[in-house]
Amino acid sequence: MENVLCLRVSQCYAQHFRTYLQSRHVLDTSFRLCQDTDETILIPILPNSVSQLDMGHLQSTLASGSVCQITWRQVFKNKKKQTVVNKLEVALKKLLESAGEEWTEELRRDLPRGFERHGDLILLADNCFSQSIWKKFGCTLWSMVAEVLGSDRLAKKSCISSNGFRSPVVMMLHGEHSWVTHVDNGIRYDFDVTKCMFSSGNITEKLRVARFNCKGETIVDLYAGIGYFTLPYLVHTGAAHVHACEWNPDAVEALHKNLTLNKVSERCTIHQGDNRNLQLCDVADRVNLGLIPSSEDGWPVACRLLKRSTGGILHIHHNVTSPMSTTDTSLDIHSDTKGFSVKNNDRGAWQVWADGTAERVSSLLKDTTGTEWRTHAQHIEHVKSYAPHIHHVVLDLECRPLLEEKTQHKEWKE
């Protein structure tokens, strides 16, 4: 069994959903559909393609009244099904043999295990097609791979660059241009795959943000990228205004485009440059700090941004590493709501990090404003796991000025 991203739907609509997901290349055919509860079915989906799903549209058009929820669950491998990777192996073996070359185990291991689908473009990972023999086939190889994988364009990753912009190093292999479109949760994101990254693993956090009620609020997104969180805030939460900070000009270009495409430009101000030099202060009801492994550099800026009189909420992303425990036993392991294996030891480490962060932010707020603040860890959300002991979490930290609380208390008493 493996932990897989699934769409959980009402049993009576499962076939309906399955056919639709297959037609959109979102169905993960290497895993079996399975029953979750008496009335719901889990349909395995490809994590890298899930962002193309418009959940609202799915629910209202395919099966109004059906359960329709993205969730992580343990499901069984589909042993009988010939996966697209198997088909690729057959096709490439033929290509090599027709050129008088021998098919080897090394070449088989050099095939892609998975890939990201961005509309009609497939993005291969960096750990495939590394053998020199592939070069011999040039364009013929890439057009064949694209055809078998069912796409018009093909690109390949090398790594995420460490230039601070988290720019991908991506090369186009087949097809004209490198701009792609993602649609998820009713939001359209356009970006150039060779210049910006798209983190599909953040989908559950984007869906959570979309459910917040931010009616009338001013929000600052300190690490906006192409609009991963800026757009859900503007499109779904009722936010009055979002200030989006981003220093990568390529991401800013995409962000501009996406604000226009989603018709929310007039409620967003883009601040291009290093957010640590941002001139704004005392404006925000909420600050989103979506940078991993750590957004700590942004904490002093976030404290300056919060409204002095009422405070607000910081959503702080962080990769928390749990200490390796010598007493780890299988009894300590639980699955969280997304089906990730999480140990008590991990939860303890998140709490320790959250408590330390709350204390640090409260002291930063005092230094910034000269008054006392109360910080309260409202919630810790587990986004994804990078390794058994490294977890991407988001802390919802409520920050309130104590002076204001006393005044309010006095007013209530009067």
Ligand X SMILES: C[S@+](CC[C@H](N)C(=O)[O-])C[C@H]1O[C@@H](n2cnc3c(N)ncnc32)[C@H](O)[C@@H]1O
Q: Which residues form the interface with ligand X (CB under 6 A)? A: 164-166, 197, 199, 202, 223, 225, 228, 245-248, 251, 274-276, 290-291
Beta-carbon neighbour count of residue 58 at 10 Å?
Answer: 19
Nearest approach, Cβ of residue 201 and ligand X (Å): 8
Nearer to ligand X, 17 or 165 (CB): 165
DSSP 385: E
Nearer to ligand X, 10 or 294 (CB): 294
Nearest approach, Cβ of residue 302 and ligand X (Å): 12
Question: Looking at the DSSP assignment, which residues form a beta bridge with residue 190?
Answer: 181
Question: Looking at the DSSP assignment, which residues form a beta bridge with residue 184?
Answer: 187
Nearest approach, Cβ of residue 208 and ligand X (Å): 13
DSSP 294: B
Nearer to ligand X, 173 or 291 (CB): 291
The CA distance from 239 to 133, in Å, is: 54
3-state SS class at 99: coil
Nearest approach, Cβ of residue 118 and ligand X (Å): 14
Cβ neighbours of residue 376 closer than 8 Å, sequence gap 6 or more: 358, 397, 398, 399, 400
Nearer to ligand X, 75 or 361 (CB): 361
Nearest approach, Cβ of residue 319 and ligand X (Å): 11
Nearest approach, Cβ of residue 122 and ligand X (Å): 20
The CA distance from 288 to 208, in Å, is: 13
Handedness of CA 130, 133, 134, 135 (dihedral sign): positive
If you count them, how many residues does the chain have? 414
Nearer to ligand X, 59 or 230 (CB): 230
Nearer to ligand X, 114 or 201 (CB): 201
Q: Which two tokens stand for residue 235?
A: 């499109």
Nearer to ligand X, 299 or 350 (CB): 299
Q: What per-residue string of b and e applies to 191-204 under the rule 16 or more CB within 10 Å gives b?
A: bbbbbbbbbbbbbb
Nearest approach, Cβ of residue 219 and ligand X (Å): 14
Nearer to ligand X, 51 or 322 (CB): 51
Taking the CA atoms of residue 153, residue 156, residue 159 and residue 164 in that order, the dihedral angle to the nearest 10 degrees is -20
The residue type found at 21 is: L
Phi, psi of 231 (to 5 degrees): -70, -45
The CA distance from 363 to 369, in Å, is: 10
Nearest approach, Cβ of residue 5 and ligand X (Å): 16
